């Protein structure tokens, strides 16, 4: 096959894009003395971020350890401690998509995100800013709300590819390595969740080409395209699991806002991107917001102006709801004495003993880390 055909297939592929908490080893609890003998109990501390909201979406505060129930692999656990959101500092990693998938609302998204940080963060809280483009870029390390808001406003959009998985991984890894212990860790992503440039996906596609050897010169365009799509999709599923495990190991909660709105249904790539956002949010106890944004590229400029205003109001509402969830977030902790193998995914079921009409968001499980 001619080189020009190869380049065309590769370009078409990327143009179309895509068709819980780690169990941290802690010192064992104080030994229990029994008739002069010391009995050591091996256990691991599991930290579960939990948000509780009422029917109006307002934060529910003041809950105690006895209010929560936790099942680990269907086995009841004793809650050791519950830390209230008002007393636990917040660590936010905010990721801003600057790739070609961004839209005309970019500047307003920046302003709204900056305002959100200034409203939700307290003096002891810290934010870290990443951009999502051809590669993840750390725009600003841990800093105050004022400096973080200023950093967001300086971000410029590009027309490059999107390394979504690499960027989320980098943010979660940063929180795990740099956020002080005992803080609530949150990853907030403004993106459509599509990935066209993460390293392992590129490598998977290239390895697929190499496996063909000289056959690549004779294979038809349709067959090459199908092979490329399969290599990409298989790698995407592996990346999804790798990133999710990193989010869980960092004890972080994932939130996202998809600026693409309902248009995500227009192609398979966008659908897969939204499924990324929903999976990460659902498994960690967060929320994948999908606003029903109105078109702003119509021939009627007056209508465009009205739609832009309504879209802005919708984004403000979403960031307000996100702020409410963060204000209602508890750190529920218990000691697991189960002997699970390393890297096993352990299922959790977190709720309230007297749920009434309250809504609980919590991680669905965690990966054992011995």
Residue 182, phi-psi category: left (phi > 0), alpha (psi -120 to 50), beta (remainder):
left
What residues have CB less than 8 Å from 348, skipping those under 6 apart?
20, 48, 70, 71, 72, 362, 363, 364, 365, 366
**Parallel, antiparallel, or unpaired: how do β-strands 184-190 and 90-97 relate?**
parallel
For CA atoms 206, 207, 208, 209, the dihedral sign is positive
Taking only the tens place, the pLDDT of each residue in 45-62 is 898 999 998 988 888 888
**What is the predicted pLDDT for the residue at 261?**
63
pLDDT mean over 164-175: 96
Q: H or E segment at 152?
A: helix 145-153
The fold for domain 3-30+39-367 equals: Rossmann fold (3.40.50)
**What is the predicted pLDDT for the residue at 91?**
95
pLDDT mean over 223-243: 88
Per the prediction, the chain carries an average pLDDT of: 83
Which tops the pLDDT comparison, 34 or 278? Answer: 278
| CA distances for 100 relative to 160, 163, 166, 301, angstroms | 6, 12, 17, 23
Token readout for 364 is 């669905």
**What is the predicted pLDDT for the residue at 262?**
61
Highest mean pLDDT among 71-75, 218-222, 229-233: 71-75
- Give yes or no for residue 85 having a pLDDT over 80: no
- For tokens 């590769």, the residue is 10
Phi, psi of 124 (to 5 degrees): -85, -10
- Give yes or no for residue 254 having a pLDDT over 90: yes
- Give yes or no for residue 218 having a pLDDT over 70: yes
Highest mean pLDDT among 42-46, 117-121, 232-236: 117-121
| Portion of the chain with pLDDT greater than 70, in percent | 85
Q: Which of 217, 211, 214 is nearest to 230 (CA)?
A: 211
Lowest mean pLDDT of 121-130, 143-152, 254-263, 304-313, name the range. 254-263
**What is the predicted pLDDT for the residue at 209?**
85
- For tokens 């930290």, the residue is 47
Percentage helix, strand, coil for the chain under 3-state DSSP, each rounded to 5: 40, 25, 30
What residues have CB less than 8 Å from 71, skipping those under 6 apart?
77, 348, 349, 350
Q: What is the pTM of this model?
A: 0.82
CA distance 190 to 98: 9
pLDDT mean over 342-350: 92
- Give yes or no for residue 149 having a pLDDT over 90: yes
**What is the predicted pLDDT for the residue at 100?**
55
- Give yes or no for residue 105 having a pLDDT over 80: no
Query: Could you tell me if 104 and 297 are in contact, meaning their C-beta atoms sit under 8 angstroms apart?
Result: yes
Q: Which residues pair with 334 in a beta bridge?
A: 46, 79
CA distance 57 to 52: 9
- For tokens 């009422």, the residue is 54
DSSP labels for 259-285?
Answer: TTGGGGGGSHHHHHHHHHHHHHHHHHT
pLDDT mean over 317-326: 88
Taking only the tens place, the pLDDT of each residue in 151-161 is 999 998 887 88
**What is the predicted pLDDT for the residue at 16?**
41
**What is the predicted pLDDT for the residue at 23?**
40
Q: How many residues appear in the chain?
A: 370
Taking only the tens place, the pLDDT of each residue in 268-300 is 767 888 888 999 999 999 999 988 878 777 888
User: If 0-12 CB within 10 Å is exposed, 13-18 middle and 19+ buried, where does residue 222 land?
Assistant: exposed
**What is the predicted pLDDT for the residue at 103?**
60
**What is the predicted pLDDT for the residue at 232?**
85
Query: Could you tell me if 89 and 124 are in contact, meaning their C-beta atoms sit under 8 angstroms apart?
Result: yes
- Give yes or no for residue 10 having a pLDDT over 80: no
């Amino acid at each position: 096959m001619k080189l020009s055909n190869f380049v065309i297939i590769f370009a078409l592929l990327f143009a179309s894009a895509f068709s819980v908490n780690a169990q941290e080893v802690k010192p064992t609890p104080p030994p229990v003395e029994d008739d002069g003998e010391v009995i050591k109990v091996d256990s691991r501390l599991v930290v579960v971020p939990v948000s509780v909201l009422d029917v109006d979406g307002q934060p529910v505060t003041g809950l105690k350890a006895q209010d929560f129930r936790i099942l680990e692999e269907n086995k009841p656990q004793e809650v050791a401690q519950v830390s209230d959101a008002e007393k636990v500092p917040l660590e936010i990693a905010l990721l801003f998509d600057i790739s070609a998938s961004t839209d005309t609302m970019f500047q307003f998204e920046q302003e709204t995100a900056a305002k959100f940080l200034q409203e939700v963060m307290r003096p002891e809280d810290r934010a870290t800013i990443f951009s999502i483009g051809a590669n993840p870029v750390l725009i600003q390390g841990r800093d105050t709300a004022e400096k973080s808001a200023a950093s967001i406003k300086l971000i410029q959009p590009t027309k490059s590819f999107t390394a979504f998985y690499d960027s989320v991984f980098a943010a979660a890894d940063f929180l795990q390595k740099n956020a002080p212990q005992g803080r609530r860790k949150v990853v907030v992503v403004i993106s459509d969740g599509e990935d066209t440039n993460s390293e392992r996906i590129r490598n998977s596609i290239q390895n697929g080409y190499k496996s063909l050897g000289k056959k690549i010169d004779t294979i038809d365009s349709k067959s090459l395209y199908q092979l490329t799509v399969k290599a990409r999709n298989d790698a995407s599923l592996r990346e999804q699991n790798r990133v999710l495990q990193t989010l869980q190991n960092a004890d972080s909660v994932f939130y996202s806002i998809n600026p693409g709105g309902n248009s995500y249904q227009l192609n398979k790539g966008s659908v897969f991107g939204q499924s990324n956002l929903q999976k990460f949010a659902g498994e960690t106890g967060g929320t994948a917001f999908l606003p029903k944004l109105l078109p702003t590229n119509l021939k009627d400029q007056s209508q465009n102006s009205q739609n832009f205003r309504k879209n802005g109001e919708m984004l403000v509402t979403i960031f307000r709801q996100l702020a409410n969830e963060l204000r209602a977030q508890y750190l529920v902790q218990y000691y697991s004495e189960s002997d699970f193998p390393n890297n096993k995914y352990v299922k959790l079921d977190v709720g309230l003993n007297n749920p009434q009409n309250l809504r609980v968001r919590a991680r669905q499980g965690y990966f054992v880390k011995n």
